[in-house]
Amino acid sequence: MRILSISIDRKVFEENSDVRQRLFDYGTLIDRLDVIILNKENEPFRKTKIGENVYLYPTNSRNSFFYIRDAIKVALKINSLIKENETKIDLVTAQDAYETGVIAWLISQKLKTKLELQIHTDLFNKYFIKHSFANRIRTMIARFLLNKADHIRVVSKRIKNSLPLEIQNKFITVIPIFSSTALVQVITPSFFLKEKYPQFKFIILMMSRLEEEKNIALAISAMKEVVRVFPKTGLVIVGSGSKRNSLRKLARRKGLEQNIIFNSWTDDPISYYKTADLFLSTSNYEGYGLSLVEAILSHCPILTTNVGIVGEILSGNNALLCDVGDGKCLTQSLINAQQHPELLEELKEKAYNDFLRKVPQTKNESLNMMKDAWLKTIKESKVYKV
């Protein structure tokens, strides 16, 4: 089985990155994996080999307008090399159903091979669509491309259930992003938030990109009311993004400089999760919500909007839930959490146990789900076209 993947994740060129390890793991499942990474010549990379059978090919394009042309040129070269060994590419896969998806579809048409599209974002969610004009275009492109795919991999049931009706009869598999329960369990915190910030009796943690769709402003507004009831409540926001300065200004305007701490992104998120009193997510949409999973595995109780794995792993039985954008619910839930600490203890244990029951617990289980889906896609004689 020989697979060609289209990606925009340049972290594959970093020796110890998670994405590089994931590609190495995929290579153990198949005969050959070639990965084309879309990048610009001002951030050049070189062709790289990972292990015995995984090859990384940067496009080193002049600019993003040349991504399609350059990726197709690289794909044709790869195909020529493989054909010299009297074999062929069996499947082209893309990490999304719009930017890389378009390129993967064009390549699959040229090579007359099967097409897999992966969806990691809740792209048919109304909040995703309303977020920007670009997202509306992405959704339209995805709707077209998904009808052309031979296999659709989604990371949550929420995404699968949101797909348009005409796509629901396609070959769709739900394969969550793998998170190592065992690895999180053995990590000992390198610090304790209550020691770093002794002025707080109750610490709320947010671990997020600081972007509009994460709606962190809603959390800051809710904190205004919370500190009136519990003045020694602290909100620690860990992350970076384009909204960082505006969020800091909002905290100052609300008079919350002493209660809200902004920390840069960290390579040690588990120490935060394991020593916080509550994890808070206010996102408008999530395809999966890896931070929610990390909080679960760290035994940190959760208050979240109805996004990502809510309804699949999280529910009102094991987490505090609010509708997207519901500031009153968030405020009251943050107050209730401090009034009823025994409830938080109960919720975090239920969430952890439910996760263990519902999600693959070993890397091999997760990898085999991918392998089985690929084999079925390649062997399936019927090619779905509209």
Note down pLDDT in tens along the chain; length 386 residues: 999 999 999 999 998 888 999 999 999 999 999 999 999 988 889 999 998 999 999 999 999 999 999 999 999 999 998 877 778 899 999 999 999 999 999 999 999 999 999 999 999 999 999 999 999 999 999 999 999 999 999 999 999 999 999 998 899 999 998 887 777 888 899 999 999 999 999 999 999 999 999 999 999 999 999 999 999 999 999 999 999 999 999 999 999 999 999 999 998 999 999 999 999 999 999 999 999 999 999 999 999 999 999 999 999 999 999 999 999 999 999 999 999 999 999 999 999 999 999 888 788 899 999 999 999 999 874 444 43
36 and 108 in a single domain? The answer is: yes
Q: Is residue 301 part of a domain?
A: yes
**DSSP-derived secondary structure letter, 188:** P
40 and 129 in a single domain? The answer is: yes
77 and 224 in a single domain? The answer is: no
- Amino acid at the residue 19: V
Please say whether the beta carbons of 312 and 358 come within 8 A.
Answer: yes
9 and 135 in a single domain? The answer is: yes
186 and 321 in a single domain? The answer is: yes
Query: What pLDDT sits at residue 199?
Result: 97
59 and 144 in a single domain? The answer is: yes
Q: Please report the DSSP string for 28-55 in residue order.
A: TTSSEEEEEE--BTTS----EEETTTEE
- Amino acid at the residue 41: E
Q: How far is CA 351 from CA 74, 126, 184, 223, 323, in A?
A: 45, 27, 15, 25, 19
Please say whether the beta carbons of 281 and 307 come within 8 A.
Answer: yes
Q: What angle do CA 353, 356, 358 make, to 5 degrees?
A: 110
Domain count, the chain: 2
What CATH code is carried by the domain that includes residue 339?
3.40.50.2000
How many helices (H) and strands (E) the chain has is answered by 15, 14
Q: Is residue 165 part of a domain?
A: yes
136 and 242 in a single domain? The answer is: no
User: 3-class DSSP state for residue 279?
Assistant: strand
Q: Is residue 386 part of a domain?
A: no
Q: Is residue 374 part of a domain?
A: yes
Name the E strands within the chain.
2-7, 32-37, 48-50, 54-58, 91-94, 114-119, 151-154, 172-174, 202-207, 233-238, 260-263, 278-281, 302-305, 320-322
Please say whether the beta carbons of 10 and 44 come within 8 A.
Answer: no
Q: Is residue 384 part of a domain?
A: no
307 and 371 in a single domain? The answer is: no
Kindly state the greatest CA–CA separation across the chain. Answer: 72
- Report d(CA 264, CA 229) in Å as an integer: 28
- Report d(CA 300, CA 202) in Å as an integer: 13
Q: State which residues form the domain around 85.
A: 2-178+362-379
Please say whether the beta carbons of 331 and 220 come within 8 A.
Answer: no
**DSSP-derived secondary structure letter, 213:** G
157 and 212 in a single domain? The answer is: no
Structure token digits, residue 288: 């999966």
Name the E strands within 180-276.
202-207, 233-238, 260-263
233 and 260 in a single domain? The answer is: yes
366 and 336 in a single domain? The answer is: no
Q: Is residue 162 part of a domain?
A: yes
306 and 189 in a single domain? The answer is: yes
